[in-house]
Amino acid sequence: GPKSKEMLARRAAALPAGLGKSTEVVVEKAEGALVWDVDGNQLIDFAGGIGMVNLGHRPQVVVDAIKDQMDKYLHTGALVTTFEPYLEFAELLNKIIPGDFPKKTLLACSGSEAVENAVQIARYYTKRPAVICFEGAYHGRTLLTLSLTSKYALFKKGFGSYAQDIYRFHSPNVYRKPDNFTEEEYIDFCIERFDQNLISHVDPSSVAAIIIEPVQGEGGFIPVPKRFLEKIRKVCDEHGIVFIADEVQAGAGRTGKFLSIEHSGVIPDMVTMAKSIGSGLPISAVTGRAEMMDAPHLGGVGGTYSGSPIAVVAALATVKQINTPEFLEKSVHVGDAIRTRLNTMADKFSCIGDVRGIGAMLVVEFVKDKKTKEPDMDFAMAVIKKSVANGLILIRAGLYTNCIRFLPPIVITDEQLHEGLDVIENAIQEVLN
């Protein structure tokens, strides 16, 4: 529409060219699973601001909590004063994050900051420098977290040099395993390679932390096999290494449990959370073993904005709602509905190589040929373009940028969900024609 066109021109003139956008949608307002643009079009949101709004756009409990807090104080600073919402939110996370041991929580403003803090605290606690991360990982865009991130061309090209003492290991991707391995043999192979890497890349006695996304996010919604997570836990126990689970994208009830790692039963030492825990407000958290979180000296952690009261009350209201059986069941329901439809599409369309994910964290991977699995990035983009034109917001993912990921608000209605899936199915058919 004309208003959108004008604002997109202003965006191009005023904002840096490197700030990408997966759609040309210019927003007027958003509510639940719906977004309206400035030209009066209504869209269904399957991107959720990149997994920010599991509880939907503007959930009433969150809006009310923010309004209440606005009348009290906006900022006095956690480095200067104490305020109850911060305490209450930390106490809640300390209670609901798995692990039968004392925990403490530090708040920050973005996923990157949470990861940065977790790694630095692990280094302080272990008095060791090295960090192990994985191929396909995404942990953020600050120097340390970008150094931990994989996928060179899109995220890292031109920004070096990177932080030191980072070692990247192979991470299982069952869809792209060699054909001559069964799934179990492939996981065995990945575990063997992990042991080899502890000889060829880095000595375990110098490793502070192993950081992993239990379901890889930007990498293409790749669930890490349970046995691989158990292997990491074992290596961490043997060598006194801190196990950090990055739940920034997979957490907050997306997969049907509060954290995605809960599906494996593996207990991490530290967890990073962000995105949907704040329903869109800038807040992130590191929750971990109390003795680790207490390691840095007095004054060694914190930030001016960290634990902003408005963001904290929003997060408190959000997490209380997410951590209920009803919400987590709804996640599973939404996931099942999407998975069923996508599997039917995969049978029908030769361009769909894989449908995977846990709970409502699902992805469809487009390939030029089901057998060779050659990634088809342009196809994914074409489907997104057509879908947006027909009222559905979508985003890509994957090391080869050939996947479309599903991150709809969990509060979406069945009708909206199926309407959205119809749009995608028609878009795929049209792109194929």
Binding site for ligand PMP (CB under 6 A): 50, 110-112, 115, 138-140, 213, 217-218, 246, 248-249, 274
State which residue, 255 or 416, has the beta carbon closest to ligand PMP: 255
Q: Give the tokens for residue 233.
A: 């836990």
State which residue, 133 or 392, has the beta carbon closest to ligand PMP: 133
Pairwise CA distance, residues 318 & 432, whole Å:
41
Give the three-class secondary structure for 314.
helix
State which residue, 26 or 50, has the beta carbon closest to ligand PMP: 50
SS (H, E, C) 25-60: CCEEEEEECEEEECCCCEEEECCHHHHCCCCCECCH
- The alpha carbon dihedral of 168, 152, 146, 382 has a sign of negative
State which residue, 148 or 317, has the beta carbon closest to ligand PMP: 148
For the bound state, the minimum distance from the C-beta of residue 247 to ligand PMP, rounded and expressed in Å, comes to 7
For the bound state, the minimum distance from the C-beta of residue 222 to ligand PMP, rounded and expressed in Å, comes to 12
Question: What type of residue is 200?
Answer: S
Number of H helices, E strands in the chain: 13, 17
DSSP H or E stretch at residue 406: strand 403-406
For the bound state, the minimum distance from the C-beta of residue 297 to ligand PMP, rounded and expressed in Å, comes to 26
State which residue, 407 or 427, has the beta carbon closest to ligand PMP: 407
Answer for the pair 140, 50: CB distance below 8 angstroms, yes or no.
no
What b/e string do you get for 115-150 counting C-beta neighbours within 10 Å, with b at 16 or more? Answer: bbbbbbbbbbbbebebbbbbebbbbbebebbbbbbb
Answer for the pair 60, 411: CB distance below 8 angstroms, yes or no.
no
Residue 199: how many CB atoms within 10 A of its CB? Answer: 9
For the bound state, the minimum distance from the C-beta of residue 107 to ligand PMP, rounded and expressed in Å, comes to 13
For the bound state, the minimum distance from the C-beta of residue 220 to ligand PMP, rounded and expressed in Å, comes to 12
For the bound state, the minimum distance from the C-beta of residue 424 to ligand PMP, rounded and expressed in Å, comes to 22
Q: Give the tokens for residue 226.
A: 């349970």
**Tokens 């909206």 belong to which residue?**
416
State which residue, 319 or 367, has the beta carbon closest to ligand PMP: 319
For the bound state, the minimum distance from the C-beta of residue 141 to ligand PMP, rounded and expressed in Å, comes to 6
State which residue, 140 or 220, has the beta carbon closest to ligand PMP: 140
Closest CA to 212 of 201, 203, 200, 223: 223
Residue 114: how many CB atoms within 10 A of its CB? Answer: 31
Q: Give the tokens for residue 357.
A: 């994910």
Pairwise CA distance, residues 210 & 38, whole Å:
45
Count of alpha carbons within 13 Å of 248, Cβ hemisphere only? 31
State which residue, 106 or 351, has the beta carbon closest to ligand PMP: 106
State which residue, 111 or 204, has the beta carbon closest to ligand PMP: 111
State which residue, 45 or 213, has the beta carbon closest to ligand PMP: 213
For the bound state, the minimum distance from the C-beta of residue 39 to ligand PMP, rounded and expressed in Å, comes to 29
Residue 176: how many CB atoms within 10 A of its CB? Answer: 16
Q: Give the tokens for residue 401.
A: 């940028």
For the bound state, the minimum distance from the C-beta of residue 273 to ligand PMP, rounded and expressed in Å, comes to 10
Closest CA to 98 of 237, 222, 265: 265
For the bound state, the minimum distance from the C-beta of residue 370 to ligand PMP, rounded and expressed in Å, comes to 28
